[in-house]
Structure 1
Amino acid sequence: MRIVLLGAPGAGKGTQARLLATHFMIPNVGTGHMFRAAASADTELGREVNKFIREGALVPDDIVVRIVKERLSHADVSSGFVLDGFPRTVLQANELDEALEEKGRKLDVVISIEIKESELIERLSHRRTCRHCGTVYNTLFEKQRPKEEGVCDRCGGELVQRNDENPEVIKERLRIFNENNEPLEKYYSKKGLLKKVGASNYLTPQHVFADVLAALAK
């Protein structure tokens, strides 16, 4: 199964992507991880990506497409994947369709995680990311907090607040997201691929996942 997850920053796409990947036994292809890996590299491309991430702006389509296409060329995604964080624009959606068609493949479903903006801002403001391994925690939710404050459970690395997760930058990220997401949802709706799942009112990831599976079964 080839799945795309849509949703604003902080909507819980990463968690749902991991749950879906485990459930269907397919790779979890997250652009967030790919972008951070590129941004940490001391290359011209890495410095470009890092600049956009710091400012809370979208990485330009041509750079994003290059990164994602390279990942989707790997053998492990030939039978399916969960794609989290891409596409974010209609242009990117077209590029993805073309890349899959070249290999005789197509998407099976696009799931949009819907959540209130006020809740998103609160969620993102409490996120902390391991500087070393990239594991994400959220101090707002008991089950998503690290065992020791400021320390990663997995590797012992320092937990930090990313530059793009302070309230002002978050608001700008959401403005950009909303500007691009409406036409993107229309694009996939016309193809009969779009399914929407509500995640507001601080539903647990497990509750949202049950709703995702129910939507897939329809």
Structure 2
Amino acid sequence: MIASLRGQVLYRTATTVTIEAAGVGYQVNVTPAHALQLRLDSEVLLLTHLVVREDAWTLYGFQRAEELEIFEHLITVTGVGPKSALGVLAQLEPEQVARAVSDEDVKAFTAVSGIGPKTAKLIILSLAGKIALAPAPGTAAGEPSIESASAALRRDVVEALLGLGYAERQAAPAVDDAAKALDGEDPDVAALLRATLKLLGPAGSRS
């Protein structure tokens, strides 16, 4: 089992990053928001889960222990594979997953590509009582908020969406709409990307 990986970022795509550790390059699947935060040539530490199958050994990487914990719970649910589990974490923060399970919010999970109502209900049933409900991270007391996402932040999110297969004519307006919906908050790349993905739906679903 490879439980963690520390090394230099050699290469990244919209959903993967290659980390060199002890002279070996490891390709790790990550969420789009996480990929954007990993800068080339920087040293990073990822918490990882290794999925072993006959045809491939696949690594999935996470920034937080809570993300890894929820991923490992999700892949025990019938009908939820590693790709879908990572998709859940691309759309929802760990705290939001816990809230959705607690509130039995089926729609929160069906917003993820590949997860239908039956699977969403099974996720809620399977995870009930297994993950702690914690307050979602927010702006620190006294810290000023911004009225809208910065231009640089929007460019990063559009770049991530292009890498996921969305056309720029879809991505750019959706990012603007998501930024308006988050007006008054202080969104980072992950928050703005998640909000935009909820508006867009799966790539290719819009003409």
In the superposition, the TM-score normalised over structure 2's length comes to 0.26
Report 1 or 2 for greater relative contact order, CA contacts < 8 Å, sequence distance ≥ 6.
Answer: 1
In the superposition, the TM-score normalised over structure 1's length comes to 0.25
* Structure with greater helix share of residues: 1
